[in-house]
Structure 1
Amino acid sequence: MTVKTKEKTLEIIVEEMVNVVENSKDEIFHISEEARSEYEQLSRELEDTKVKVIQYIEDGDKLEQRVAYSRQRLSEVSKYFDRYGEDEIREIYEGTHELQTRLAMLRKEESILRQRRDDLERRLLSLDHTIKRAEGLASKITVILTYLTDDFKQVNEMIEEAKEKQEFGLKIIEAQEEERKRISREIHDGPAQMLANILLRSELVDRTFREGSTTEALDEIKNVRKMVRSSLYEVRRIIYDLRPMALDDLGLIPTIKKYIATTAEYNNVKIEFTPIGSDERLNQKYEIAFFRLAQEAIQNAIKHAEASKIQVKLEINKRHLTMVIKDDGKGFNPNVKRDKSFGIIGMRERVEMFDGIMKLDSAPGKGTKIVIQVPYEVY
């Protein structure tokens, strides 16, 4: 399975997980809103019920006083039965019975209201617990969703970075093969061809000398010397491209100066170099790294940015090595990923190897500025 396919599969899985979590969050929110709405409705009903209960208690107490008074009269009628008429006795009995019936019904309704009030209070407690749990779950799901999306973003960035590194690794291999081919062609077309000519010319010198023409032999020897010098120059040039000998002999600053002078003259470009701070020799791996970084940045400015002026500053202080490369070329948008931008990727990889940082500032038509800073202790 390719990296692209794995990335797509992972993206689908995480997207489904995010959708499930979001749907769960929506459901919990819906449950919470329903519970909250019911809570508000039951709270209003509870307040009304409490008012009714109080009213029923007051009405019941008043009616109970009337029943007590009516029962007292009924007791008096029963005691002095012969003093009251039949209609008056019936009225007292019926009135007392009616009041007792009304009181019983009132107390029954009061009891029902009390029970309803208690039920409402229990229901409200349960709803309040449900709302708090729902809110807690919603908060946790929000955190989970945030972590999930952030982690997926990081995973995507890691996959993208791994893919870039894979492509960069393949590009390095291709570049190595191309470099081998180039060196092979240069040696074949340059020193190897010249050495073959030198061999032929040396045979010609030998034949000319044997035939007795000393003057012609000396002329041929002079030509052989010229060819030897040219061959030597070509061999030295190839060696310098592979690794400048001046870097080992003289150090970073003189090597960059020499490289800039040669490159500026060959490409007809104005290149300014400003060294700042200490000019002491650095650790070899730092000298190699910063020379290659300068070389890559300058070549990018010439080949891709088509710059006419390039400024290079190198500062060596007690804690950092800082290099700034600025050009007046056509620039580009750093936020837009470009194909075959392996030069910048390679520079960034090299800087990160030394725990450094590289900042790239560019815009179309505004030129490019690269700032590289690497921690380094100068003793």
Structure 2
Amino acid sequence: MEGEDGSESQQSRHPAGTLDPATQKRHAAMIDRLANLHQSRLQQSAARSASSAASPAFESVAAFLTRFDESGRAVEAEIKRCRDLSVDPASAPSLKPELEKVAASIADLDRLVAENSYFLPTYEVRSSLKAISVLKEALDAANSELLPRKKFSFRNKTSKKDPICLVKEIEEEKGPSSDKRVLAAVRDSPGFRNKEGSILIKHFRVSEEEEGDFTLSGLNCCEIYLKGRLRALFIHRLTNCRVYAGPVLGSILIEEVNDCLLMLASHQIRIHHATATDFYLQVRSRPIIEDCSAVRFAPYRLFYEGIDTELRDCGLGEETRNWANVDDFKWLRAVQSPNWSLIPDEELLGTVNVSDVKEQCEDK
């Protein structure tokens, strides 16, 4: 019998057991390659199955909406229960902790939207945030009506708010008073403020109890390195700055940046009033810009020891390419917005390794 090339097959020329040593060696190598290929396919199939099993059970729009609606109705029921409790004077002492539980439930809803907005349509994200806003207003009204007002005091104790909720509050109110609310967020959180020509470094360690939200405000011609995990990041009024930040579990809110480079990783990134700025992003949801011009986008290129683990722990280990899918809320036409673009390949930065930045810059 002849093979496909017209020559006699090896099997017909060399009966089993009579193959020459060279042919036997090639035959054994071929068997090994086939076995390795089969094993590799089995491993890939098992990995795909494990990945599918590990994905959130509600990672679909319909399942998310069901969970969100159930949680929203539960919050409404809790607010009504608090109002019913207020009728009984004996229950008054328990009202404050009960209302605090309601606030925590609303914060959980905020986080639910933030953590799943990467696959939700823009309309559903906006509707969910609006529903959360209505719940917050209902809770504020209940607090005002049911809890006695505190007596005047000269002590100025700043209350800590959930950073994701604070981002939403700032975004929900636009117009002349919006700057005041941004400044409130900037004022109330730790951060770097009002510096010029400085190298600014902060390492967020897991053991730190104060790990959470952080602010960059009023910076000019500065290099900023934020290593470790944050819960929320506020960036306000930066000019000619370079920002390299580790993963942010919640949201990043950016206001008024010009001629900057920002390398950021987060579940949500909102950008307002940015000009001539490059963004290198790893983001679960589509970045949102508003009142921006000449902004450009590219994939996240930051590296330091441990960052891969931090990204995975924050749910940011997977490349979604959402950095290339930008929503311009001030551009409603079907054609591409002229306010943003992708950075050309020839202008892309390579990996920025900041593993030793502390040792190099600490004394400067």
Fold-level similarity (TM above 0.5):
no
Larger-Rg structure: 1
Of Structure 1 and Structure 2, which has the larger fraction of its residues in strand?
Answer: 2
Given the two structures, how large is their TM-score scaled by the length of structure 1?
0.28
Of Structure 1 and Structure 2, which has the larger fraction of its residues in helix?
Answer: 1
Given the two structures, how large is their TM-score scaled by the length of structure 2?
0.28
